[in-house]
Amino acid sequence: MEVEMTIRTIMMDPVTQMPIVVLKDVGGDTVLPIWVGVPEANAIALEMEKVTTPRPMTHDLIKNVLTGLETQVHKVVVTELREDTFYAVIWLERGGEVISIDSRPSDALALALRVDCPIFVEEVVLKTSKLAANMSDRVTSDELRKYLEGLGDDDLGKYKM
């Protein structure tokens, strides 16, 4: 079963100094941190902040290509966590044909923001991720950061894009 999520925030891992995209369950209190690369975090942040660049960035180009090919992005799904690596799929439709495209979660998230499609995480990923946690809607970014900082070194910095 898929759980709809939104991007709650982007923050830095205090141990590895790598960006973390924090997803939050839209219908509950579960959060899922996903470590991403700096360029991907920047691509996500640019769209979250609605910053326009003079020339299309990579994810803008992908959006433009899909639009030009009359292809809609229906959803992106973080499908599995295997050997400390998250996997995702982008679900497209063109001419009535549904197509699934393998993707890194960071690229899928950056594209989802640009095309305004829903983001989902397979329930099994939330259950198997040691870092998925239940948190209230009232949790602030500071409280979330303190929670993540309180995790042990064995937990932090091991997930890959």
What are the pLDDT digits (tens) for 81-106?
Answer: 998 899 999 999 999 999 999 999 99
Q: Which of 63, 125, 60, 127 has the alpha carbon at shortest distance from 88?
A: 125
pLDDT tens-place string over residues 29-56: 889 999 999 999 999 999 999 999 999 9
- pTM > 0.85: yes or no: no
In this structure, is the dihedral angle defined by the CA atoms of residues 48, 54, 59 and 63, taken in order, positive or negative? positive
| Domains defined along the chain, listed by start | 2-149 (3.10.690.10)
Q: Which single residue is written with the structure tokens 């899909």?
A: 66
Q: What are the E-state strand segments in 13-84?
A: 19-25, 30-35, 72-82
pLDDT reading at 116 higher than 60:
yes
Side-chain half-sphere exposure of 74, counting CA atoms within 13 A: 11
